[in-house]
Amino acid sequence: MKTKIIKIDPLKEIEISLPSNILKRGGLVAFPTETVYGLGAYAFNEESVRRIFEVKGRAQDNPLIIHVSEFKMMQEIGIVPEKYEKVIQKLTPGPITFVLKKRKNIPKVVTAGLNTVGVRIPAHPVANKLCKETGPIAAPSANLSGKPSPTDAKAVIEDLNGKIDCIIDSGSTPFGLESTIIDLSGDKPLILRPGPITVEELKEIFGEIEIPDFIIKGAHVKTPKAPGMKYKHYAPDKPLFMFFKDDREKIIKILERENGVVICPKENVRYYPENRVIVIGMLEKPYSIAQNLFRVLRSFDKSEFDVGYIEAFEESGILFSVMNRLKKAATIWR
């Protein structure tokens, strides 16, 4: 298959008819969002949605998120509790997904047979217009399953060129982490995946929210209600270990022997040999660490180093979301 690669500048007039028509005809399109790049199929075309799983090598019991352009379209996909309508409209469009009880017309292949569905309204102008022109789009991240999520078209091309119909290149994504997922289908809000909208912000907005133990530990669950809950995610091909600052001296002693590299924020570069460091961002600008996380993991895979060691971060704000990804991508160093 020859993949069409088209460039669309999100800051200029957006012409979306080509990728929209591909989706309407049953094709697959990779497109930018404000979080990561998504791999989309028209949500009501079951055959197209199944192709997503085949192309990615994704397990069938791992549900997809449906992307829509506006709140009205969200209501056509899921049942929005009346008490949350104003909150959802306040938070959207933006980098947050809501798990709702699904409407009967949603294909089971999208929701992995669950009675709930994840829905979000992307803020990225290209993604939003694509949804507006096409209708609801089912889309996980546009990478091979288990690999670091793509935050630019180059990463998408590496994984999916020749396997899908079209890739939209709109440069790097602003946030670099997948959307926050919050389950509103139960008695009280439940966080299923931390993301760009932080736990602290959600507590201010919703009041009482539940943070399950598997989120804190970065563990897996048997029956996932949202992406990233059951299977290994975000990992580079090379061994990656996460360590804590008390072990810095031990790590330094083994770097040369193992041809290893330390991944750390700019503020901590001084602790390590300068030729064995990859900078991930700055602690004083924590969103830069989130934005660079997946790009750095992919860069490490292509580097001359054999083993990676990444410093653990304090689990607050956006770095709580970063640590959630690292617990799934890396092995704790002992």
CATH assignment at residue 152: 3.90.870.10
Does position 226 have pLDDT exceeding 70, yes or no? no
Does position 218 have pLDDT exceeding 70, yes or no? no
Mean pLDDT in residue range 16-37? 98
Does position 62 have pLDDT exceeding 80, yes or no? yes
Q: Predicted confidence band at 231 (pLDDT cuts at 50, 70, 90)?
A: low
Tokens of 237: 């091909």
What pLDDT score does 207 carry? 85
Higher pLDDT, 211 or 294: 294
Range with the lowest mean pLDDT among 221-230, 241-250, 284-293? 221-230
- DSSP result, 112-163: TT-SEEEEE---SHHHHHHHHHH--EE--BSS-TTSPPPSSHHHHHHHHTTT
Mean pLDDT in residue range 307-326? 96
Mean pLDDT in residue range 52-64? 94
Does position 139 have pLDDT exceeding 60, yes or no? yes
DSSP state of 103: P
Indicate whether 193 and 261 sit together in one domain.
no
pLDDT tens-place string over residues 190-209: 999 999 999 999 999 998 88
pLDDT tens-place string over residues 166-179: 999 999 999 999 99
Backbone angles phi, psi at 273, to 5 degrees: -60, 130
Say which residues have a Cβ less than 8 Å from residue 67's Cβ, sequence separation at least 6: 33, 38, 40, 119, 120, 121, 122, 127, 131, 136, 137, 138, 139
Distance CA(219)–CA(214), nearest Å, equals: 5
Share of the chain above pLDDT 90, in %: 88
Q: Which candidate, 178, 191, 195, 307, places its Cα nearest to that of 254?
A: 307
User: Using a CB cutoff of 8 Å and minimum separation of 24, what contacts does 78-83 make?
Assistant: 78/102, 78/103, 78/116, 78/117, 78/119, 79/103, 80/184, 81/184
Indicate whether 191 and 147 sit together in one domain.
yes
Domain-embedded: residue 166: yes
Domain span holding position 275: 240-332
Q: Predicted confidence band at 229 (pLDDT cuts at 50, 70, 90)?
A: low
What pLDDT score does 225 carry? 63
What pLDDT score does 219 carry? 57
- Domain stop point among 217, 248, 269: 217
Residue ranges of E strands in the chain = 4-7, 29-31, 38-42, 65-67, 78-79, 96-102, 116-120, 137-138, 166-169, 180-183, 190-193, 240-243, 260-264, 277-279, 307-311, 331-332
pLDDT tens-place string over residues 83-117: 999 999 999 999 999 999 999 999 999 999 999 99
* CATH for 291: 3.40.50.11030
Mean pLDDT in residue range 52-81? 96
| Count of structural domains within the chain | 2
Indicate whether 192 and 328 sit together in one domain.
no
Indicate whether 285 and 316 sit together in one domain.
yes
- Domain stop point among 217, 252, 284: 217
Domain-embedded: residue 233: no
What pLDDT score does 216 carry? 74
What pLDDT score does 296 carry? 97
